[in-house]
Amino acid sequence: MSSSYQSDDYIRRARIRWRARRGILENDLIFERFFRRYEHILSAADVSALTQLLELSDSELMDLLLSRSELNAPFATPDVVRILSWLRAV
């Protein structure tokens, strides 16, 4: 694996971790546990799905994470559904 690829991967992961910092403590705690468990296996599709979830407001995201609401189109793609299930499992 080239050092350029490793550097790009590190930057990609650092950016997504930064974007996952939220204004609601509960969301932060869930994302912290999520990254501890899954960060090393996130694919480009996973990062893209996570990015879509991070476009939601803090309260919308919290409702999804706590299963108080479900994904609606166009968010309900297989990749986003998988990432949400991982987030709910941590």
Percent of the chain with pLDDT over 70: 90
Q: Is the model more confident about 24 or about 61?
A: 61
Does 2 have pLDDT greater than 60? no
pTM for the whole structure: 0.81
What contacts 17, CB < 8 A, 6 or more positions away? 35, 39
pLDDT value, residue 65 = 95
Express each pLDDT in 41-69 by its tens digit: 888 899 899 999 999 999 999 999 999 99
C-alpha separations of 49 from 3, 4, 68, 85, 89 in Å: 25, 24, 20, 12, 16
Average pLDDT, the chain: 86
Q: How many CB atoms lie within 10 A of CB 36?
A: 10
Q: Using CA atoms, how far apart are residues 54 and 64, in angstroms rounded to an integer? A: 11
Q: Which fold has domain 3-89?
A: DNA polymerase; domain 1 (1.10.150)
